[in-house]
Amino acid sequence: MKNAKHPEPIDLLPYMGKWSALSVLVAILAGSASAAFLYALDVVTAWREAHGWIIWLLPLAGFAVGWIYLRLGKSVEAGNNLLIDEIHDPKKVIPLRMAPLVLGGTIVSHLFGASVGREGTAVQMGGALADQLTHVFRMDQSHRRLLIMAGISAGFASVFGTPLAGAIFGLEVLAIGRMRYDAIMPCMLAAIVADQVGLAWGIHHTHYVAGAIPHITLWTLAATLIAGMLFGTAGMVFANATHGLSDFMKKRVSYAPMRPLIGGAVVATAVWALGTQRYIGLGIPTIVESFTRQLPATDFLGKITFTVASLGTGFKGGEVTPLFYIGATLGNALAPLLHMPFATLAAIGFVAVFAGAANTPIASTVMAIELFGSEIAPYAGLACAVSYLFSGHTGIYRAQRVAQAKHQRHIPEGMRLGDLPGYLRQLRNKSDREQ
């Protein structure tokens, strides 16, 4: 820097001071919101499990949340996709109402028995609360992007207790094939502090034990490759099925509150017919169980079905914890076929299905290390990379951009995943006409 009055490290001090203060403030807001959310989630989950009859009120609960969003939440209904869109193409500050609406909607979903997760709620609360600081500090659009990314990282880290994975998630989730390193310091600090804020509020996260990790051999690597392909395919099926059902319901049922009413009726009837609540809610007990003994091979299919039915018809919540369930139980089912320890493959599947569905292989690998220890890193890294490839150019977040295609297929840089199917149809139609 020829015109700099001071050495570059000295010039960076004001920047560090500003973003350290902002990141800590974002972390306090997001970490406290996540702590309140997790506490409420524990309370309503325990109540639902003790009063199984409440599942029959799920259709009415879905209708009520749908009606509230129709009246008050149209501007924030896009959820995580709205956050990603605002980072790529900033327009206006995210309405504060996103935080209480998604918090209340997710609590209702879990109280009455929908199969949804929690990451979407924490990320939306973190992003929305962080963006309110744009008004307070009169920040420009470039700095606003960093603020929202820090909020995303803080929300993710505090809800799962994985600060490093949370930081990387906020950088990686925006685009396929590219990270924004200009936000690395705010995201890292916000994620670490938000996790500590949650712990200070007395929140405890589930402890998973992957057991003894096998030594690397030719077969364990081959088994991991095969499993990674299947994990990525499962992530792709989940994302496509959820989006497909959502599009179908929007096309066939014009009145939005009716969609979760119908979905709730289907879920409640299915729970009654199967005689089990195994596939609703977060499913944490089943995830923990997948590390301790062999489970029914169909558990992952049950969770996919119930979660697609819930999210695809409009219930509020996240996708990530159900993806953990799907991955852990699929890994558990594959273990005897691939001659791998079921706890090890459950742990790998836990993160790898998420890596494929969310297109975040680096964050998922780091999450595996934070949750299961460093010994699992080679297997988790390989499985997440393969899953990322085999999930194709799909994902649970339609607002993700394609910065670099996963393989040689040509996709215009910057295209939204939600716009990609239409673009590929146009290419096929053009090719057919030329032939």
What is the model's pTM? 0.95
Reduced to 3 states, what is the DSSP secondary structure of residue 404? coil
Instruction: Number of helices (H) and strands (E) in the chain: give both, helices first.
Output: 18, 3
- CB distance 148 to 79 below 8 Å: no
What residues form DSSP beta bridges with 402? 176, 415
Q: What is the 3-state secondary structure (H, E, C) of 281-293?
A: CCCHHHHHHCCCC
Average pLDDT by stretches of 10, the chain with 435 residues? 68 89 97 97 96 97 97 93 94 94 97 95 96 90 93 97 98 94 96 98 92 95 98 98 97 97 98 96 96 95 98 95 98 97 97 98 98 97 98 95 84 89 81 70
Please give the helix or strand (H or E) that residue 401 lies within, else none.
Answer: strand 401-402
* Distance of alpha carbon 183 from alpha carbon 146, whole angstroms: 5
Question: Residue 75 and residue 186: Cα distance in Å, rounded?
Answer: 27
The amino acid at 309 = A
Decide: residue 266, CB within 10 A, 0-12 exposed, 13-18 middle, 19+ buried: middle
The 10 Å Cβ neighbour count of residue 373 is 13
Residues 6 or more apart in contact with residue 222 via CB below 8 angstroms: none
Q: Which pLDDT belongs to residue 260?
A: 98
Going along the chain from its start, the domains and CATH numbers come out as 15-201 (1.10.3080.10), 218-391 (1.10.3080.10)
- What pLDDT is attached to residue 408? 65
Write the burial class of residue 401 (CB in 10 Å: 0-12 exposed, 13-18 middle, 19+ buried): buried
- The three-class DSSP label of residue 396 is coil
Q: Using alpha carbons, list the distances in angstroms from residue 20 to 17, 32, 164, 268.
A: 5, 18, 17, 47
Residue where the block lists tokens 């500050």 = 93
d(C-alpha 424, C-alpha 417), whole Å: 11
Centre a 10 Å sphere on the Cβ of residue 96 and count the other Cβ atoms it contains: 14
